[in-house]
Every structure is written in C-alpha cells, then in structure tokens.
C-alpha cells in the first residue's frame, strides 16, 4: 500500500479530485489534499514546496524517477520528520496504520481532503459523492486495492437513506402485523376499519400541528407514531370491549344507549389516562436537550388528538355504523371480548388468582427485583460513541429479498470501526481553557504557568511522546511566546525584559510582549492570544491534548480543575470547553433529563391520580397504588438495560416517558374497573372482572404495541433497534406489572380499607 505504483496513483487521484468541478469549488485554497505520497516526494526532493496545484505533477514525476529503495528511505524520513506535513494537517504517521515502520507492508493509507469552511451541506454532499466516484475510477487499474470515502455529509445522507430503506422494508410489515393483531383482538372488520381510520386521522392532525409549530421530523420523532398506535389501540379496545359487554348483557339496548353506558365507565379512565400521560411527556419540557423538548411537545399533542378521536369521534361513528347495519337487516358479529379468548383468559385468571391468594409474596418479589434494577441504574452506560449511531451492514436474511425492498449495504459502521481500529486519530483530541478578563495583568504569567503545570499532571492529559507529531501536549500563550522568541530576536529581548525573576515566566509589561509576538508572527499568536478590533487583548486560550481512550467525564473533571487554577486569579475568568467536555455535558444532560423528567412526571401524575380517585371513589391512596406498578416496571427496565449493556442516550432516555405514559394508561383502566366493580361485588369477583375483562383489552394493546416496536429491531439503524427493543421490553414489563403486581396491591389496599371501615363501624 506504500509501494511506488500506489503512491504515484494516489497523486494522480489527488490531481483528479482537484480538477473535478464538483469538488474543486468546495476545497480549501491552501493544501486541499494531503497524502503519504506528498510527504515522500518532498522528503525525496526538499526543493518541492507544499502549495500550488501544479506541484502535484512535480511530485509525481519525482516519485516516478526514484527506485523502490529510495522511496522506502524517503518514507522513513517522512515518518520521522515533523516538517513534511502542511501546518494544521495530519502527520504522515497518522495517515498510515498504527505502529507502522518504514519497510513494512502497510495494509492501508489515508488521503485527507480539506474542504473550505464556507461550503454548504449540499455542496459538500455533491463533492464527497464525486470524490467517491473519482476514487473508484482512478484506482481501478490497481489490483487488490479497494477504497472508500468517509465524510460528514456523506454519512448523514447515507444514514438518512438507510432509515428510508429500513422503513420501506419494515413499515408495511409493521402495518400488516398491527392490522392482523387488531383483527384477532376485535374479531370485527368494522372495528378494525374504524381503528385504522382513527389512527390515520390522529397522524394527520399531528403532522398538521407540527407544521404549524415549525417542528421538522427527525429520528426521535419517529417514535411518536409508534407510541400513538399503542395508545390508540388501547383507547379504542377499552371503548369497544365495554360497548360489547353492554350489548351482550342488554341485547335490547340500541347502539347509542349501549355506547353511552360503555363510555360512562371508560371515558373517565381514558380522560385520566390522557391527562396523566400527556403531563408525563410535557415534563420533558424541562430537559436541557432541545430535541427531547420537541419530542415531549409533539407526543403530548398526539395523545390529546388520540383522546378526541377515540374517545368521541370513533365511538360516534361506531353508533352510526351499527344503526345502518340494523336498518339494512345485516347481522352484527357476535360480541366477543379479548378477555374471553381461551389463552388470554387462562393467563389473566392465573394472574388474578395468584394476586388474590399471595399478594404479599407477589409484591415482595416485584419490589425485590425492582430494587436490584434500581441498584444497576448508576452503572448504565451513557456513552455517545458516534459509531453506535451509524447504520449497520445489511443482515444476511435480507439478501434474498426483492431489490425494490432490499436495503442497500452502505457499510458506514464497518468503515468507521475500521478507521478507528487501524489508524491513530489524525489530530489530537483536545480540550480548551478560554481565559477572559484582564489578561495583561502582571499576575497572569504566573497563573498561566500554574495552569500548565496542573494540566500536565492530570491523568487524562496526553504525554508529549503520545501527542501528534509537531504538536505539543499543552499549548498556551506562554508556549507561543517562547516558540516565537526562539526565532525572533525582538521577541526574545522583550521576553527577557518582561521576566524580572529569570524563571522564563513574564511578570510585567505583558501588553508590550504580546504586541511584539503579534508583530513577529500573527498566525502563531492568534492561536492562543486574541486581540480585539480596538487593539486590546481580550482573551487567551490554552489547548490541552487528552488521551483518546479516557472517559469524557474524567476529561471534563480534569479540564475544570485546570480552569479552577485560572479562576483563582481575581483578574481572570476561565471556561473549560472542547469536544470531550461538550460530550460529557451532553451525557450529564441525558441523565438529568431522565431523573428530572421521571421525578417531575411521577409527582404530577401521582397528584392527579390521587385527586381523581378521591373524587371518584373517595380514596386518594388508591392513586398511589395505581402509580406504583409504573415505578416498578421502570426499575425492571433500568436493571435490564444495565444487564444487556445497552447505552442510555437521548433515544433510550425517551423510554422513561413512554413507560410512564403507557404504564399509567394500563394501571388506570384496571384500577378504575376494580374500584367501580368493588362497589357492587366482593373483592375476588371485582378483581376477576377487572383483570379478566379490562385486563384483556390491556393485553391486546400490549401485544400490538410490543409487536409494532419490536419490528424496529429489524431496521439497519442501531438507534431504532435499541429504541424498538427497549420500548417493547418496557411495555411488556408494564403489562406484567399491571395484571400481576397491581392486582396484588389492590388486594392489600382493599384489605386495609375494609379494616378501616370496620374500625369506624361503617
């Protein structure tokens, strides 16, 4: 890969890239392409300059006139030299595999293409696509040589295409599975058609609201339709099943009367669910992450639309349809509830009986497992490794699919992983300390020296031997002054005049010293010393190279410790920043979102439930009973996420809100049904009806939601895979908690209420 033919061909490729009109307009004016061959040619003939497109031909002619031995020798020189890469560009060593030494066979090499900062996203995408096709054409004559192009614009576009491909494949499958499950649940084509039409109307309203609010679709918002499908199915299942119950027990009732009776028992539960679920999502508005705030608002709007459609509009349509069927003498289907299906009935009866007979054991086991899950929560990985967001390679089972629905194989994740494992970072990972205030005060020099010493001793700081060639591990104003002073006598004299203690640290006349540095080398000075338009020095900058493998939280802590040294000077204010620090802040924001959203939503929902159940059934404590299984399900989820080592990022953080929303929905319906039935019948009968009838609708809703979300694991997008898996998991946990843990809690609550009533003599 560093043989003479390959090096010559890479120079030809660079020239073709520079000559391509689609690429040339986006390239930086100074040294737009950088490769190993460039440095080898310069090492072979030092008279060759860096800049100028014409120099590529000169470099190529130089290499063509060298023997293999001369090229190998020049490569060794290039690897050892700090001066053969353009300023600000990667070293030769970073363009070859890790630990490579001259004379060995290199399996790969990099060519860096430098775009102009003013290029638009569309221009960059067109240029990077042109680079890809140019590389394929120019390197085609080299046997056993493959190439691929990695660029930000290209990755974004391919990621979007992979998302589209995934939904072309999975979307119809999700629709087919959901409609099939609805058919099994409703056993009535009219209800299936009404449910699907209602969901379509909810989506239309939601998209319209997003348009009015100026919110664009993104990967996170893709989760909202899945959530609304689950809630819509749940809402209408409860309405339809209660309607059928009244039709079965009162066959003489006309449809309007049966529906009114059904809604009387269900509408309060649906309304309460809507209020609490929407509130749970609106708690996400407290998140510091903008996309999560948008998600929270859009989800709340969709939930409100689902209530209007399935609590009012669709029931009215059902009445009209049934009345029309009666007028034309068409027989109606036999009323069937999900809870009456044999397999569902057997499961729900077991849950009701177990909860009734052993409520303490059920609650104890549930809380014990929840405690274990909660203990694992602090260990959940919050990393934001970018490769975890790139599309995966096409799965083997997709190969036989027709081309129209078979996703393309983009290889983005494989390529990114290969680059990370094969090459060192082209540039050091750095943090910056921004220093503002009276930066020319006599005390600043000593403060800068103390900050540099502190940074050098931090465990996350890269040692000078590990730093990229030609780049010191720590670079600040003092380093700039000393570097320029070594090359400029005027600056050296000014530094000696400013240093009265002889320790190399200036302690007076810093303004004059900075003026001399700017006059001697403004480019070098501007990297660490900022001079405002008025000629005053307003800010300084310290750049610290950090270990690539270090945890960003440790890097942030070390950077802030260095900034604190500067902050101790009353004349200065320091801020730690840089990509690792920003990444650590993002991770912290995710955790804050989870904790704040959960606590806020939980508190508000608990208060609402206590208020509603107090007014409905005379007890506020049953509201706490209804919210407890939701907390248990989330604790189970966190423990599972830790056990399977799933990263907890912005996508998976949404699961907390979804768990509260759907979990509360399930528990409200069962709790409301139990409390209503308990007024008329004994505890065991009320529990059997609540779990068997209302729990049947919950089961159908849960299975449909799990199937819809679970199918997202078949996409190429890791974020959607994780989201689908974790959401399906938490819906399953919420269902189990609702039909097993909640009944046990209701039994214990009812026993306590019975004892209190006896003590009062009621």
Please give the Cα distance from 446 to 20 (Å, whole number). 52
Dihedral angle sign, alpha carbons of residues 733, 735, 737, 739: negative
At 330 the pLDDT is 42
* Beta-carbon contacts of residue 275 (< 8 Å; ≥ 6 apart): 608
Residue range 139-171, pLDDT digits in tens: 777 767 788 888 888 887 877 777 777 777 777
For range 103-115, the mean pLDDT? 82
At 738 the pLDDT is 93
Beta pairing partners, 546: 429, 461
According to DSSP, residue 379 is labeled: G
According to DSSP, residue 451 is labeled: H
Please give the Cα distance from 562 to 581 (Å, whole number). 13
Residue range 20-79, pLDDT digits in tens: 888 888 888 777 888 888 888 888 877 765 544 447 778 888 888 888 888 888 888 887
Instruction: Write out the two tokens for 385.
Output: 């490794």
Pairing of strands 572-577, 429-437: antiparallel
Q: Which region among 91-95, 359-363, 379-383, 693-697 has the lowest average model confidence (pLDDT)?
A: 379-383
Please give the Cα distance from 190 to 145 (Å, whole number). 61
Residue range 401-423, pLDDT digits in tens: 776 677 776 777 777 777 777 77
35 sits in which H/E element:
strand 33-35
Q: How confident is the model at residue 653 (pLDDT cuts 50, 70, 90)?
A: low
359 sits in which H/E element:
helix 359-376
At 334 the pLDDT is 47
**Helix 444-457 × helix 477-485 angle, to 10°:** 100
pLDDT at 466 over 60: no
The dihedrals phi and psi of 84, each to the nearest 5 degrees, come to: -100, 5
Residue range 544-589, pLDDT digits in tens: 988 877 878 889 999 999 999 999 999 999 999 988 888 888 777 7
CATH numbers and ranges of domains, the chain: 4-149 (no CATH), 156-391+585-760 (1.20.1640.10), 429-547 (no CATH)
Q: Please say whether the beta carbons of 125 and 157 come within 8 A.
A: yes
Q: Please say whether the beta carbons of 452 and 542 come within 8 A.
A: yes
Q: How confident is the model at residue 340 (pLDDT cuts 50, 70, 90)?
A: low
Q: Which DSSP string corresponds to 551-590?
A: -HHHHHHHHHHHHHHHHTSTTEEEEEESHHHHHHHHHHHH
Please give the Cα distance from 33 to 18 (Å, whole number). 8
* Beta-carbon contacts of residue 681 (< 8 Å; ≥ 6 apart): 689
R_g of the chain computed on alpha carbons = 34
Task: Tell me which residue has tokens 């970073």.
Answer: 94
Please give the Cα distance from 236 to 240 (Å, whole number). 6
- For the beta carbon of residue 614, count every other beta carbon within 10 angstroms: 14
Please give the Cα distance from 730 to 631 (Å, whole number). 11
Please give the Cα distance from 38 to 236 (Å, whole number). 68
Please give the Cα distance from 691 to 699 (Å, whole number). 10
Please give the Cα distance from 439 to 159 (Å, whole number). 45
At 327 the pLDDT is 44
Long-range own/partner contacts, residues 60-67 (CB < 8 A, 24 or more apart) = 60/8, 60/11, 60/12, 60/15, 63/4, 63/7, 63/8, 63/11, 63/37, 64/4, 64/8, 66/4
Instruction: Write out the two tokens for 317.
Output: 């349509």
pLDDT at 227 over 90: no
Q: How confident is the model at residue 328 (pLDDT cuts 50, 70, 90)?
A: very low
pLDDT at 220 over 70: no
736 sits in which H/E element:
helix 718-736
């Amino acid at each position: 890969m560093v043989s003479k033919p390959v090096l010559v061909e890479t120079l030809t490729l660079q020239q073709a890239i520079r000559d391509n009109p689609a690429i040339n307009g986006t390239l930086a004016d100074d040294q737009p392409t950088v490769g190993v061959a460039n440095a080898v040619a310069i090492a072979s003939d030092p008279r060759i300059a860096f800049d100028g497109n014409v120099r590529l031909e000169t470099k190529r002619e130089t290499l063509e006139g060298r023997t293999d031995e001369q090229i190998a020798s020049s490569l060794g020189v290039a690897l050892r030299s700090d001066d053969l890469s353009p300023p600000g560009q990667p070293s030769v060593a970073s363009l070859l595999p890790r630990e490579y030494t001259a004379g060995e066979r290199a399996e790969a090499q990099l060519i860096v293409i430098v775009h102009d900062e003013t290029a638009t996203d569309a221009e960059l995408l067109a240029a990077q696509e042109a680079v890809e096709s140019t590389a394929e054409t120019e390197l085609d004559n080299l046997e056993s040589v493959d190439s691929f192009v990695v660029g930000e614009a290209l990755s974004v576009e391919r990621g979007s295409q992979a998302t589209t491909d995934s939904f072309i494949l999975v979307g119809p499958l999700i629709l087919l599975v959901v409609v099939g499950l609805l058919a099994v649940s409703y056993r009535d084509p009219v209800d299936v058609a009404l449910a699907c039409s209602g969901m379509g109307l909810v989506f239309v309203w939601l998209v319209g609201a997003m348009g009015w609010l100026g919110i664009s679709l993104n990967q996170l918002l893709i989760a909202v339709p899945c959530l609304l499908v689950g809630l819509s199915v749940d809402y209408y299942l409860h309405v339809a099943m209660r309607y059928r119950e009244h039709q079965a027990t009162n066959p003489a009732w006309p449809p309007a009367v049966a529906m009114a009776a059904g809604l009387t028992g269900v509408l309060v539960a649906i309304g309460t669910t809507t209020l609490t679920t929407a509130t749970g999502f609106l708690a996400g508005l407290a998140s510091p992450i903008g996309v999560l705030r948008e998600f929270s608002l859009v989800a709340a709007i969709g939930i409100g639309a689902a209530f209007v459609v399935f609590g009012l509009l669709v029931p009215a349509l059902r009445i009209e349809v049934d009345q029309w069927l009666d007028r034309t003498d068409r027989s109606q289907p036999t009323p069937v509830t999900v809870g009456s299906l044999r397999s569902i009935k057997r499961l729900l009866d077991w849950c009701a009986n177990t909860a009734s007979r052993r409520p303490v054991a059920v609650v104890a086991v549930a809380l014990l497992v929840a405690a274990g899950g909660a203990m694992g929560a602090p260990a959940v990985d919050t990393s934001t490794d970018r490769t975890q967001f790139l599309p995966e390679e096409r799965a083997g089972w997709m190969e036989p699919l027709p081309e129209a629905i078979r996703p393309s194989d983009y290889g983005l994740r494989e390529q990114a992983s290969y680059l990370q494992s094969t090459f060192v970072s082209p540039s050091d990972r750095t943090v910056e300390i921004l220093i503002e205030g009276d930066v020319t005060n006599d005390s600043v020099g000593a403060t800068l020296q103390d900050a540099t010493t502190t940074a050098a001793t931090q465990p996350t700081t890269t040692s000078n031997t590990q730093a990229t060639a030609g780049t010191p591990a720590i670079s600040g104003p003092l380093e700039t002054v000393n570097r320029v002073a070594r090359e400029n006598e005027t600056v050296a004299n000014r530094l000696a005049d400013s240093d009265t203690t002889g320790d190399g640290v200036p302690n007076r006349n810093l303004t004059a010293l900075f003026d001399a540095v700017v006059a001697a080398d403004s480019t070098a000075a501007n990297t660490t010393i900022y001079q405002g338009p008025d000629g005053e020095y307003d800010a300084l900058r310290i750049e610290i190279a950090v270990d690539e493998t270090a945890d960003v939280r440790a890097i942030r802590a070390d950077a802030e410790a260095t900034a604190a040294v500067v902050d101790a000077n009353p004349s200065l204010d320091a801020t730690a920043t840089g990509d690792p620090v920003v990444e650590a802040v993002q991770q912290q924001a995710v955790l804050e979102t989870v904790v704040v959203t959960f606590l806020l939503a939980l508190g508000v929902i608990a208060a609402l439930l206590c208020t509603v159940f107090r007014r409905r059934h005379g007890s506020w404590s049953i509201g706490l009973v209804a919210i407890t299984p939701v907390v248990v399900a989330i604790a189970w989820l966190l423990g599972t996420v830790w056990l399977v080592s799933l990263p907890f990022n912005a996508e998976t953080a949404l699961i907390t809100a979804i768990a509260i929303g759907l979990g509360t929905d399930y528990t409200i319906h069962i709790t409301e049904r139990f409390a209503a039935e308990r007024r008329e019948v004994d505890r065991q009968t009320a529990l059997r009806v609540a779990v068997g009838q209302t729990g049947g609708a919950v089961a159908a809703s849960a299975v449909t939601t799990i199937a819809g979300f679970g199918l997202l694991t078949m996409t190429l997008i890791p974020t959607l895979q994780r989201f689908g898996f974790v959401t399906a998991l938490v819906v399953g946990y919420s269902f189990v908690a609702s039909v097993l843990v909640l009944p046990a809690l209701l039994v214990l609550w009812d026993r306590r209420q019975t004892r209190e009533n006896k003590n009062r003599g009621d």
